């Protein structure tokens, strides 16, 4: 039997009812070849803009590029080789950074958390709009920081490939094709949610 060459949905075995934008969100590596517009991206960034942040410092900074532009190529060149292998077909690429200090010059311990909330807003808005995201840690942080002229008190944290679900899975290596079709998995709540003291044994299960 011929395997499906594209995927738009994955089964998510939730234990409780949650929003469909969260339940149906997943991170493909194969994207449909439909272009994404600057306006569609700005909608996602606007959702991120309204994420909560400690003291409303909003320490996030976003660099983006649309495929076919110099900005896209500059971001792409900062990805590690493994991610370049599949991300090259994404219609848009994004770098996410955060300012490590607050306006007084003191360390902002919550900045990375706030950037995470920004990107969570982006991801949920993207899913609502039928857009897929795949966030990656595999970037050359120092190269990206230098390439895009970030000051010393900024850290480039992640890159994100953005496009539409339904890409041709057969364009990926075999191991990534299996991951693309595989069931979504998460740790059980009991391993990390405690109504009492932290339990390291359960956490490490």
Express each pLDDT in 73-83 by its tens digit. Answer: 999 999 999 99
In a domain, residue 10? The reply is: no
In a domain, residue 14? The reply is: no
Give dist(CA 19, CA 124) in Å, integer.
10
The mean pLDDT of 179-187, rounded to a whole number, is 88
Say what angle helices 38-49 and 111-128 make with each other, to 10 degrees: 130
Give dist(CA 17, CA 37) in Å, integer.
33
Task: Check whether 204 has a pLDDT greater than 70.
Answer: yes
Task: Check whether 62 has a pLDDT greater than 70.
Answer: yes
In a domain, residue 194? The reply is: no
Task: Check whether 2 has a pLDDT greater than 50.
Answer: no
pLDDT bracket for residue 179 (50, 70, 90): confident
Q: What is the CATH number of the domain that holds 84?
A: 3.40.109.10
Residue 83's SS3 state is helix
Note whether 62 and 117 are within 8 A (CB).
Answer: no
Count the Cβ atoms, other than its own, within 10 Å of residue 67. Answer: 20
pLDDT at 3: 47
Task: Check whether 70 has a pLDDT greater than 80.
Answer: yes
Provide the percentage of residues in the chain whose pLDDT is more than 90.
87
In a domain, residue 192? The reply is: no
In a domain, residue 82? The reply is: yes
Task: Check whether 4 has a pLDDT greater than 60.
Answer: no
Provide the percentage of residues in the chain whose pLDDT is more than 70.
97
Domains of the chain: total: 1
Task: Check whether 11 has a pLDDT greater than 90.
Answer: no
pLDDT bracket for residue 127 (50, 70, 90): very high
Is 3 or 1 the better-scoring residue by pLDDT? Answer: 3
The mean pLDDT of 97-113, rounded to a whole number, is 97
What's the angle, vertex CA 58, arms to CA 63 and CA 40, rounded to 5? Answer: 45
In a domain, residue 86? The reply is: yes
Provide the domain limits for residue 129.
45-166
Q: Is residue 123 classed exposed, middle or buried when 0-12, 13-18 and 19+ CB atoms within 10 A define those classes?
A: buried
In a domain, residue 4? The reply is: no
Closest among 167, 85, 178 to 132, alpha carbons compared: 167
In a domain, residue 97? The reply is: yes
Give dist(CA 104, CA 107) in Å, integer.
9
Residue 189's SS3 state is helix
Task: Check whether 171 has a pLDDT greater than 60.
Answer: yes
């Amino acid at each position: 039997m011929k395997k499906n060459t594209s995927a738009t949905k994955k089964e998510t075995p939730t234990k409780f009812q949650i929003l469909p934008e969260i339940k149906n969100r997943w991170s493909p590596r194969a994207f449909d070849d439909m272009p994404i517009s600057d306006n569609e991206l700005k909608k996602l960034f606007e959702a991120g803009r309204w994420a909560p942040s400690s003291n409303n410092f909003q320490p996030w900074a976003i660099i983006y590029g649309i495929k076919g532009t110099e900005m896209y190529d500059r971001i792409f060149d900062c990805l590690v080789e493994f991610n370049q292998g599949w991300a090259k077909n994404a219609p848009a690429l994004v770098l996410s950074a955060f300012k490590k200090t607050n306006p007084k010059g003191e360390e902002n311990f919550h900045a990375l958390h706030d950037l995470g909330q920004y990107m969570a807003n982006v991801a949920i808005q993207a899913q609502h709009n039928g857009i897929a995201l795949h966030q990656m840690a595999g970037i050359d942080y120092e190269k990206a920081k230098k390439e895009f002229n970030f000051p010393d008190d900024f850290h480039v944290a992640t890159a994100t490939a953005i496009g539409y679900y339904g890409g041709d899975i057969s364009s990926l290596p075999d191991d990534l094709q299996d991951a693309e079709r595989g069931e979504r998995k998460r740790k059980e709540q009991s391993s990390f949610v405690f109504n009492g003291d932290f339990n390291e044994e359960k956490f490490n299960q």
